Structure 1
């Protein structure tokens, strides 16, 4: 397994993050402009516990994910964590990068006292499902989504 440095993303990392998101199986290869990404990244950084992380080796960013830790009034006040937008450069897949990123997210949640760490994955991504299950994730309940615009483009 290749050891990577995992750290919080900075503005300077945005071009590499957008490049990772440009993969065909992530939003059909469409990405934000750097200007759009900078505005959204600034807003994300204003959330108390919403962070984007990068995985780096050999001075190259090869993976990224977002982690949101939310406070709760239920569950005796224990927070919960949600991982979103996990991507590993295709040439680095299968080398333990995703595993290290998920272990990092899990440790962040453990330190914060989260009662769970959740993620969602497209039904078609069966290889990803097996990967998550190999890390101890269990299929739990159903995930429901609705487009706020009712499917209409604004």
Structure 2
């Protein structure tokens, strides 16, 4: 029980968790994405196990900073399985990544959370996260051209 590094063999459970988060059909490519992340020095793909099952997933990216003393840790994906929610698993995962971020010389953790995820906003606020306005994004097609 507890936190551990994800394994390729977890792919189906991770795909299901991502589906719960609103990302269907990840089973078509998730193994190759996991392999890339598990082998990248600035990525952490972690799971929380409960009773031998994957109960939560968190993906972290560490971003070195040139102009600041501390670096950033960015949460890319964080989801607790719907059957395990409201049992403090999210809080345990978040506490674990704080220690991990500190060990990587990070002085902040950031997360981009879509405006429709109001329950997630309440969780992050309860954990001490503050809203940081303005987030810009440019989407590109597979060939690198900009989407309209």
Q: What is the TM-score when the length of structure 1 is the normalising length?
A: 0.86
**In the alignment, what sits opposite 2:73?**
81
Quote how far apart the aligned CAs of 1:130 are: 0.9
Structure 1 stretch displaced more, 85-94 or 40-49: 40-49
Quote how far apart the aligned CAs of 1:64 are.
Answer: 0.2
Structure 1 equivalent of residue 17 of structure 2: 20
1:91 aligns with 2:83: yes
Q: What CA distance in whole angstroms lies between the structure 2 residues aligned with 1:101 and 1:109?
A: 12
| Mapped partners of 2:92, 2:147: distance in 1 | 36
1:41-87: CA deviation from partner (whole Å, max 9, x where unpaired): 221123212011001010011110101112121103x2210011111
Q: Does 1:47 align with 2:40?
A: yes
Where do 5+ consecutive residues of structure 2 fail to align?
A: none
Q: How does the TM-score come out when normalised to structure 2?
A: 0.89
- Distance in 2 (CA, whole Å) between partners of 1:40 and 1:124 is 26
Structure 1: give runs of 5+ residues left out of the alignment. none
Asked which structure has the greater RCO (Cα within 8 Å, sep 6+), the reply is 1
Partner of 1:148: 140
How many aligned residue pairs are there? 144
Q: In 1, are the aligned partners of 2:12 and 2:27 still within 8 Å (CA)?
A: no
2:12 and 2:2 map into 1 onto residues whose CA distance is 18
SS at structure 2 position matched to 1:87: strand
